[in-house]
A and B are shown apart, each in its own frame.
Chain A
Amino acid sequence: MADYFIRRLLLIIPTFIGITFLSFTVTRYVPGGPVEQAILQYQQAQGGGQTGEGGAGGSSGLDSKGEISQDLVDELKKIYGFDKPLWIAYPVWLKNVLLGDLGNSFTTGRPVLLEIRERIGISLQFGISGFIISYLVCIPLGIWKAVKHNSTFDTVTSVMVFVAYSIPGWVAGVMLLMLLGGGSFGKAIVPLGGSESGIIEPGSFLYRFTVPNVRVLKNATPEFLEAYPEYMRLYELDKETVLEKPGELPKDATSEQKEARRKALEAYEAFGQMCPLVVSTAPSHNDLNFIGRCLDILWHMILPVFCYVLGSFAGKTVLMKNSLMENLGQDYVRTAFAKGLSEKVVIFKHAFRNSLIPLATGLGHALSIVLAGSYLIEKVFNINGFGLLGYESLIGRDYPVTLGILVISSILALIGNIISDFLYCLIDPRIEFS
């Protein structure tokens, strides 16, 4: 058995290389990549500038015909890592991946791994709670349906199962947003998306949990916190305004004001540019106390999690029911009944344990399914997670992120396969792999 799993683990290597090589090749040979987009942008920018100058080329990187010079193209290719042929570039990329370096994002310039790490938590928060709830709902329901086979309860829940099967989770999500989000009917019962509240209106039930007058600026540097309030005080700026870059000096500014503005500008250059939404007194998620934050997060999780559950509800319930039904027809159940055990004991101590096998093996794929199935739900509910990151990277042709996500999700899928098989062996010792 150990041999089998070691072999399986080793076989991950060629499979992984296969997957990544395919995608790597695709990203290199298809048109519309980052180099072409950069060239296009460059041409547009230069085209605009050139009309004034009367077509002076040379130094700007355009040759006399107004086309981009080869040097510039080569340089662009080098920037985006397209200067080497595939058979050199791929091993280099693979080596970096193995060393844990997925490259930098083309759009934000930050390491891909960092981007993914930031986003994956949110996806897991939604995905895993959905996963756990779906098991908590489907297993009891499946058991009950099997025990009450052909009863009214069974028929009614079968209808529910069919309904759940016929409406994909994310489609139900769009519909529920329309029904409960307050756009079409009545008052908003659920938020329209996101994972936490941006602004908490005075009418919202969360408003009573706000902490008054406490502004915690996450990530803000001390210089910034010092310079900005001073600047606001001297310019008599309203506390409610969202601060942007310090404005122009009025003519009659005092030297004190000038100094404050200079400091504020420095602080802004150092910190504010990265995080331009700075101070506003309309309370947001960060102004809530602990209970308020928990409630806010839960409030935002209701619909997305419901959609996750809906997506796997039909499959899991029917699987549980059928597997329990099958076990209830087995000889060992008859024996158990024959020796006088009560129905409860027979079902829960004998049949139920055996019928969990097919469901338990699904646990191996939990992680990859949670991540793979999240594009649509994250898009619908505008959750800034792993799936949305993948979608955005595809729209923006951000290849390092695209490939990074592919690497992570395929590794999870491959390991998931093995974990599934392993769980299968663990739960059911009769199974022999070879």
Chain B
Amino acid sequence: MSSAQDNKSHGMAYRLLLNILRFVLFVAIFTVTFIFIDKISATMSRGMIRFLRIAALIVGGVASFYVAPIIVSVFDAFKLFFTTPIFKRRWRKFTTLKRGYWSFIIILTLFVISWFAGVLINDKALFVSYKGKYYFPVFASHYNGREFGLDSYSSPNYRVLKQIFNARNAENKAALEKMFPSKSDIPKDLSSLPKELADYIKHGPDKVILPIYPFGTTANLMEELPSRPPHPPLRGEASLKSSAWIDIFLTEDQYEFAEGRDAYLDKLSDELLAKGKDPDVEMLKVVRKEIRSGNIKLKPAVKYPWAGLYMKYDLFVLPETRPTDQELIEVFKKPEWVGYSNYQLYKKMAENGMLELKPGVEPINYPHFLGTDDRGRDVFARMVYGFRISISFSLLVTTLCYAIGICIGAFLGYYGGWFDIIMQRIVEIWSATPFLYTVMILATFITPNFFLLAIILVFFNWISMTYYIRAEFLREKSKDYVAAAKAIGCTDFEIIFKHILPNALTPVISFAPFAIVGNIGSLVSLDFLGFGLPAPTPSWGELLGQGLANLSKPWLILSPTLAMFFTLLLVSFIGEAIREAFDPKQYSRLR
């Protein structure tokens, strides 16, 4: 199996590539094992750690030296497989199977689009121009608020930043028009003007360009939305009006009841009892109906939940003089506001809709297609990023499983004998360990990130691949072309990877979509149980877990369930079509 010598017939470029691959592989193995050792080293003695590190170096070195040519050969085998006329014929057959073909196109398109999710769905602005400087926050790691003239060092809320800029631009524009009624009046020398205005004339209006859907996966939207999360999936006030899912018995008072909420509910309950109905069931229905028909009104403070946020950035027109105490009591009927400080009072007034927004400022009324989750994060954004992560994760796991499973299965099938028997034992150990449980055991010890979790899953999943390949090799190796290859002096390595492997790939290729379905399922289950990707990562399984804890919030359950359902449905349509195209079973029957 000494492969390095076998490839003398290849050119310089090939050998160079091979060695680069060896190096990359070595670095990869080395890094992963070192991270792993680091993570588990807490209870080990120093000598043990040193020993493990040296062992990792040696194993990594040897493995990458021998594994690299195998990878190249497997890659070649796939290339050969995909360029044969027979594959082209199968592909044509596949394209005629409409359901599978279109599923393939849809999934591919969605997956490609999801890679651009960063510029389509993000809470960072695409582009900010501030005082003549240009920023591209989507592509930068972090800009702090100071760079855009705010007070904080944290990353600015770009949706609010846009409103701040709008207000400032409108102010400057008005001031400019007042000072210089026609454009030609503006002097060349700006130094006599106030700095704000000079900047405005020099650089034009400041700008924020937001992505189409300006919400991210991790930002908390509680400041902008009414009451407590999770919020139902509709726009602003409409979501509260059609409050089929808002449990008014549990959340804080959002509605105006003439005689107080509790008194109203008591009265309603008595009325229902008198009619012989079960108040537990009927009361909520009656209340919802009343809210929808407008008999019970929303409290104004609920209509402007973002008033506090806008007050912070001074986006409301404040009255020139504070309303007198007399006015507060007699006109506004709010005696409790009398003792408030100016800021508190204006905030209250803003929340109750008594203050105007500054010119140019728009109220917050962004749609949340799918509502928010229990930490007030936008569900739609998390679903989209979750799709990207799920698909990439399962593709990665499937690819790695195939790579390992194909190589080991090939050797098992080709050599057989003792090697096969010993490996069969190991395979049996692997397959008898309860898979999900063992992954959970591992995941409790090392908090896995994307790649580590993928490696853990690969560690348990590659086995099923070896079965397919081994069986194919057992069948293929007795065929004439293998004997012919042996007769002309091909090495085992060449026979395995150049001659047999391209012929043995059909079953594994047609199995691939089902493997992908399985891996998406595994990731979702692990996330659901809390042993998957670490916390802020958007994931379908985590959302399902939240849904189970909040059964009265259907959007938390329906969104991930339907997303998962349609994804898996499309992938399994593809799988069915591939099997039909690659492995047609003609059933003929007499009757």
Contacts and interface: CB of A to CB of B under 8 A. Distances in A.
Contact of A413 (B40, B432, B525, B564): B432
B230 interface: no
Given A334-B590, A413-B434, A168 B521 contact: yes
B591 interface: yes
Given A171-B524, A178-B547, A343-B591, A29 B434 contact: no
Interface string A123-137: 000000000000000
A391 B432 contact: no
Interface stretch (A11-19, A101-109, A259-267): A11-19
B551 A410 contact: no
A43 to B, nearest CB: 16
Given A329-B589, A391-B440, A166 B551 contact: no
Given A29-B43, A167-B561, A372-B434, A162 B569 contact: yes
Interface string B546-571: 01100111100110010011101100
A221 to B, nearest CB: 38
A140 B376 CA distance: 48
Given A31-B42, A178-B557, A333-B589, A171 B564 contact: yes
B561 A171 contact: yes
Interface string B430-458: 01111111101110111000000000000
Contacts of A170: 525, 528
Contact of B528 (A23, A322, A376, A405): A376
A178 B524 CA distance: 19
Interface string A21-65: 011001101111100100000000000000000000000000000
Nearest to B44: A29
Given A171-B564, A328-B587, A410 B432 contact: yes
A175 B558 contact: yes
Contacts of B564: 166-168, 171
Interface in B262-308: 278, 280-281
B428 interface: yes
B432 A417 contact: yes
Tell me what chain B mostly uses at the interface: helix, strand, loop, or mixed.
helix
Contacts of B281: 187
A32 B524 contact: no
B481 interface: no
A337 B588 CA distance: 14
B529 interface: yes
Tell me what chain A mostly uses at the interface: helix, strand, loop, or mixed.
helix
Given A391-B440, A410-B432, A184 B554 contact: yes
B443 to A, nearest CB: 9
A326 B588 CA distance: 8
Contacts of A417: 428, 432
B245 interface: yes
Interface string B339-366: 0000000000000000000000000000
A171 B569 CA distance: 14
A165 interface: yes
Contact of B568 (A27, A166, A203): A166
Given A30-B40, A30-B43, A15 B565 contact: no
A310 interface: no
B544 interface: yes
Contact of A26 (B432, B445, B547): B445
B100 to A, nearest CB: 12
B323 to A, nearest CB: 44
Contact of B544 (A171, A184, A187): A171
A379 interface: yes
Interface in A387-406: 390-391, 394-395, 397, 402, 405-406
Interface in B510-544: 517, 521, 524-525, 528-529, 531, 544
Nearest to A35: B43
Contact of B436 (A175, A337, A375): A375
A177 interface: yes
A375 B437 contact: yes
A163 B524 CA distance: 17
Given A162-B572, A166-B572, A18 B425 contact: yes
A183 interface: yes
A334 B180 CA distance: 100
Among B428, B438, B442, B544, the most chain A Cβ lie within 10 Å of the Cβ of B428
B94 interface: no
Contacts of A165: 517, 568, 572
A11 B434 contact: no
B429 interface: yes
A329 to B, nearest CB: 5
A107 to B, nearest CB: 15
Interface in A333-384: 333-334, 337, 343, 368, 372, 375-376, 379-380
Contact of B434 (A168, A391, A410): A410
Contacts of A405: 437
A328 B585 CA distance: 13
A339 to B, nearest CB: 12
A168 B572 contact: no
A409 B431 CA distance: 12
A424 to B, nearest CB: 16
B43 A33 contact: yes
A328 B572 contact: no
B36 to A, nearest CB: 11
Contacts of A410: 432-434
A51 to B, nearest CB: 28
Contacts of B462: none
A167 B551 CA distance: 19
B529 A379 contact: yes
B30 interface: no
Contacts of B215: none
A333 B588 CA distance: 11
Contact of A409 (B437, B529, B565): B437
Nearest to B48: A29
A174 B461 CA distance: 26
Contact of A32 (B445, B529, B561): B445
Nearest to A161: B572
Given A18-B429, A30-B445, A375-B529, A174 B544 contact: yes
B573 interface: yes
Interface in A274-331: 322, 325-326, 328-329
A31 B43 contact: yes
B156 to A, nearest CB: 37
B278 A29 contact: no
A379 B531 CA distance: 13
Contacts of A26: 441-442, 445
B553 A184 contact: yes
A206 interface: no
Given A175-B558, A394-B441, 5 more contacts: A18-B429, A22-B429, A322-B585, A391-B440, A413-B432
15 contacts: A15-B425, A15-B428, A23-B433, A26-B442, A31-B40, A162-B573, A162-B576, A165-B568, A166-B566, A168-B564, A178-B551, A183-B551, A325-B589, A326-B587, A390-B437
Cβ-closest 10 pairs across A and B: A183-B551, A31-B42, A30-B445, A166-B568, A166-B569, A183-B552, A18-B429, A413-B432, A184-B554, A328-B589
